[in-house]
Amino acid sequence: MKLRILIADDEPLARERLQALLAAEPNIEVVGICDNGRDALKATRRERPDAVFLDVQMPEMDGFAFLKALPPESRPLVVIVTAFEKYAAWAFEVHAVDFLLKPFDRERLRATLHRARERIQASRQPDIHKMLAAMPRNFAAASNPGERISIKKDGRIVLLKFEEIEWIGAAGNYVEIHTSDATHLLLSTLTALERRLPGGTFIRISRSAIINANRLKELRFDRRGQCSAVLQGGLKLSLSSACRGKLEQLLSK
């Protein structure tokens, strides 16, 4: 699958390095390179790229204003590229396909491109629920929403047990279901999926994330009192103040 990419970054060296890395990858076409948000917005509307590699801090129009200017239904995939880790939570809120912290290497970029292709492929696939409804009754029963989730991927249907899930993140009209060794895309909102999950095990920790409490390693607090949930694999996810009390209550039982 060919990816058409727009680069928006005000740092010349960063732009040149990203362009060089992308040029070395197969099936990639860079359709524009912009050094400010206003030009990036014009180029996005003109070229309609599949994905925009977007720096947050740019002159004339920063990344925040850039995304606000694009209607969600016509917005390309967004990869946030920045030197500041503090923007990671914002990347989740705007449903970015990935968050690249400068400096990143070739392997990290390849992982991002893989995620972008998976997101595009999933958006072009038929509704999984309609497919399951058309299947024999005994197969549909095997995908009981109380026990597992059915996910169509690469021409096959994966039956994912709840216990395999580590955490779930919002991704526009989709959710990303993360296990220890894979990430699966499902056409659903986070709220709709939350209703199908066992409430004693899966906890909503923010507007954009649900965790499996059995995979929680610790709660970590910074100097400002802000809390993060750290999973067993080391991933750290921000915990909203509205959800913090619910999680602490669960852990105290």
Residue 15's region, left for phi above 0, alpha for psi from -120 to 50, else beta, is alpha
Whether 157 contacts 163, CB under 8 Å: no
Task: Give the model's pLDDT for residue 243.
Answer: 72
The pLDDT of residue 229 is: 86
In which residue are the tokens 């014009």 written?
Answer: 42
- H/E run at residue 6: strand 3-8
Q: Indicate if 137-251 has the same CATH topology as 3-123.
A: no
pLDDT at 152 over 60: yes
Looking at domain 137-251, its CATH class is mainly beta
pLDDT at residue 137 tops 70: no
CB 10 within 8 A of CB 35: yes
Give the DSSP per-residue string, 65-132: HHHHTS-GGGPPEEEEEES-GGGHHHHHHTT-SEEEESS--HHHHHHHHHHHHHHHHHHTSPPHHHHH
Angle between helices 106-123 and 12-23 (to 10 degrees): 70
**Nearest one of 96, 110, 238, 119 to 167, comparing CA atoms:** 238
* DSSP H/E element including 236: strand 236-239
pLDDT tens-place string over residues 47-96? 999 999 999 888 888 888 898 888 877 789 999 998 888 877 777 777 88
Mean pLDDT of 100-118: 90
Which CA distances in Å does 35 have to 7, 62, 105, 162? 8, 11, 22, 44
Q: Which two tokens stand for residue 133?
A: 């409804």
CA distances from 2 to 31, 46, 78, 177 (A): 12, 18, 16, 25
Take residue 201 and report the two structure tokens written for it: 């095990």
Cα dist from 147 to 52, 144, 163, whole Å: 38, 6, 9
Domain boundaries, the chain: 3-123, 137-251
- pLDDT at 147 (0 to 100): 74
pTM over 0.75: no
**How far is Cα 39 from Cα 43, in angstroms, rounded to an integer?**
6
Cβ–Cβ < 8 Å for 3, 48: no
Q: Select the CATH number that applies to the domain covering 3-123 from these four: 3.40.50.300, 3.40.640.10, 3.30.70.260, 3.40.50.2300.
A: 3.40.50.2300
Q: Residue 187 forms beta bridges with which residues?
A: 174
Question: What CA–CA distance (Å, rounded) separates 80 from 98?
Answer: 6
pLDDT tens for each residue of 170-228: 988 889 999 988 889 888 889 888 888 887 788 888 889 999 988 988 888 777 767 88
